[in-house]
Chains A and B, each alone.
Chain A
Amino acid sequence: MRLFVQAVILGLLAGGVYALMASGLTLAFGIMRVINVAQGVMIILGAYVSYTLFTHFGVDPFLSVLFVVPVVFVLGVVIELVFIRPLRPSEREELSLLVTWAVALGIEGVLGLVYSTTYRSTIPSYANAAWRIGGFAVLQVQVYAFGLSVVILAVLGVVLAKTRFGRAVRGTVQNPASAALLGVDERKVAAIGFGLSVATAAAAGAVYGVVTPFNPGSHYDLISLLLTIIVLGGMGSLPGTVVAAVLMGVSQALLATYISPTSAKLTFFILLIGILVVRPQGLFGAVERGKL
């Protein structure tokens, strides 16, 4: 039982970070019907920028988020303008897979040239510090990573629910023609929305590098995980993404504890096949437009 509780705690903490990683993917799909398979490489890019700031300038990886987010936001806007906007709306969903995959490979190549393929890790002084709560050991960095993810997701939630821009995003997701008639510039919403979606991934990446060693090819594992999460949650549903991410984190931790860490990587295949058989539209069932 003790082992079980420990695994669940670890899984919840990891699931919070997964939720942040995947939320951007959901946002981009909801607004633009773009399946951004470069989301994984954006996480790795965030991890490298944070790693560089830490090793060269001594910037704490959690503080580096303040730099990573705006830089990758601008990169996201540029990617949207240059690579995604020229796609015809009718073909965007399919072609965005190819285009963003090309972007992912390009960024992976550049990262490989700059940093080589050696695994890196951002290791601050408190990397191995742990708290003991009720007899359970919890790594401080994992709690910080979880806390940061929750804060960023909460800010994203408030922006979407309470602001003029958030209403424009939700309006565009639910009924783009109607939003345009009310004066919403869909292209502007798409550019800013895509920038936000990759910026959240990069923020998650900054903390990912503290928790997990990474190299430029690590995005392959990440994108498989993230795609599973958004399919599991129901494509385009933000609450569904959060629930699926936590479910994924806990399942992985339990498998790693009771079977082996290697088999934990199979978790997403098992969950994906299971959910597609039982509930093909995902947990929150947002198969149609309009659920963000």
Chain B
Amino acid sequence: MDVVLSIRGLFAGYDRGDILRGVDLDVERGGVTCVIGPNGAGKSTVLKVVSGLLRPRAGDVALDGERISGRSARQILDHGVVHVPQERSLFPSMSVWDNVLMGGYVLSRAALRRRIDEIVSRFPIVRERRRERAGSLSGGEQKLVEIARAMILEPRVVLMDEPSMGLDPKARRVVFATIRQLNDAGATVLLVEQNARSGLEIAGRGAVMETGAVRLEGVARDLLDNPEVARLYLGSAARSLGDRG
């Protein structure tokens, strides 16, 4: 497997102790890797450490063999790792257009102009709703603009934290289809998803996290077929949600 992002022995947490207790995970270049697991397993914390929002207490994160753990969010962004967080991350009182421009904050004016043309053609919503306040868009539309904003930098790795959270089934389908398209266009995606079935279905590889560590890792299709995973995370409720979504 051609690994672009490698996580080894990661320990991290907040004031009261470690949430991650020795996470090992590999992200395949050009693929979608989906991390599933129960609430509190540490899935989102992994993404926060990778993007530099949280410093690890121990362990390494390497991008193409270069250690990036412990660096600032800005330095990691400069390495081409973009984080689309779980909560709504648009600037609600700013226009859709200004939000997308903010995605290229670290770019030069010329580079931003070049990139914005491509983003507009790939995400029509950016042009159609450019003058509207981002906060006035629906949840699904906001998520699409967030993804468009993340793609401005042509990231080497996109970290997506529960992109389907709070969306209705139709919006969820659009968001997953968009992630799939981005991946087809060459983007590497590390996806954390509560909606396990939908996440694994668009992924090439998957991992199951529990209590701060990766318990199971492999080809996403194998995880979908794994009876233990199916029983714990793809139960009838998850199946029906996934089928509808």
* Chain A residues proximal to chain B, CB less than 8 Å: 164, 167-168, 170-171, 174-175, 177-185, 290-292
Contacts and interface: CB of A to CB of B under 8 A. Distances in A.
Contact of B92 (A177, A181, A290): A290
A185 B83 CA distance: 16
A183 B73 CA distance: 7
A80 B92 CA distance: 27
Contacts of A170: 91, 93-94, 98
Contact of B98 (A167, A181, A183): A167
A181 B93 contact: no
Contacts of A290: 91-93
B102 to A, nearest CB: 5
B181 interface: no
B93 to A, nearest CB: 5
B91 to A, nearest CB: 4
5 contacts: A177-B89, A179-B102, A183-B73, A290-B92, A291-B93
B103 interface: yes
B77 interface: yes
Given A181-B85, A183-B105, A184-B105, A171 B91 contact: yes
A58 B122 CA distance: 61
Given A164-B105, A167-B101, A167-B105, A181 B94 contact: no
Interface string B20-42: 00000000000000000000000
B83 A181 contact: yes
Nearest to B112: A164
A177 B93 contact: no
B85 A177 contact: yes
Given A170-B94, A180-B74, A181-B73, 18 more contacts: A167-B102, A167-B105, A168-B105, A170-B93, A170-B98, A171-B91, A171-B94, A174-B91, A174-B93, A177-B85, A177-B89, A179-B91, A181-B51, A182-B105, A182-B106, A183-B78, A291-B93, A292-B93
A164 B90 CA distance: 16
- Leading 8 A-B pairs by shortest Cβ distance: A183-B106, A178-B89, A174-B91, A183-B77, A183-B105, A183-B74, A182-B105, A171-B91
A179 B74 CA distance: 10
B89 A181 contact: yes
Interface in B88-136: 89-94, 98, 101-103, 105-106
B53 interface: yes
A178 B106 contact: no
A185 B51 CA distance: 15
Given A167-B101, A167-B102, A168-B105, A181 B91 contact: no
Contacts of A291: 93
A292 B91 CA distance: 11
A177 B44 CA distance: 15
A179 B105 CA distance: 9
B94 A174 contact: yes
A177 B149 CA distance: 15
Contacts of A180: 53, 73-74
Contacts of B74: 180, 183, 185
A196 B71 CA distance: 30
Nearest to A292: B93
B145 to A, nearest CB: 12
Contact of B53 (A171, A177, A292): A177
Nearest to A164: B105
A168 B101 CA distance: 10
A171 B101 CA distance: 11
Contacts of A178: 85, 89-91
A175 B106 contact: no
Contacts of B106: 182-183
A132 to B, nearest CB: 44
A167 B92 CA distance: 12
Contacts of A184: 102, 105
Nearest to B101: A167
Interface string B32-67: 000000000000000000010100000000000000
Contacts of B149: 182
Looking at B74, B91, B103, the one whose CB has the most chain A CB atoms below 10 A away is B91
Nearest to A286: B93
Interface string B67-80: 00000011001100
Contacts of A164: 105
Contacts of A174: 91-94
Looking at B51, B73, B77, B83, the one whose CB has the most chain A CB atoms below 10 A away is B73
Contacts of B102: 167-168, 171, 179, 182, 184
Contacts of B98: 167, 170
A182 B77 contact: yes
Contacts of B53: 177, 180-181
A183 B104 CA distance: 9
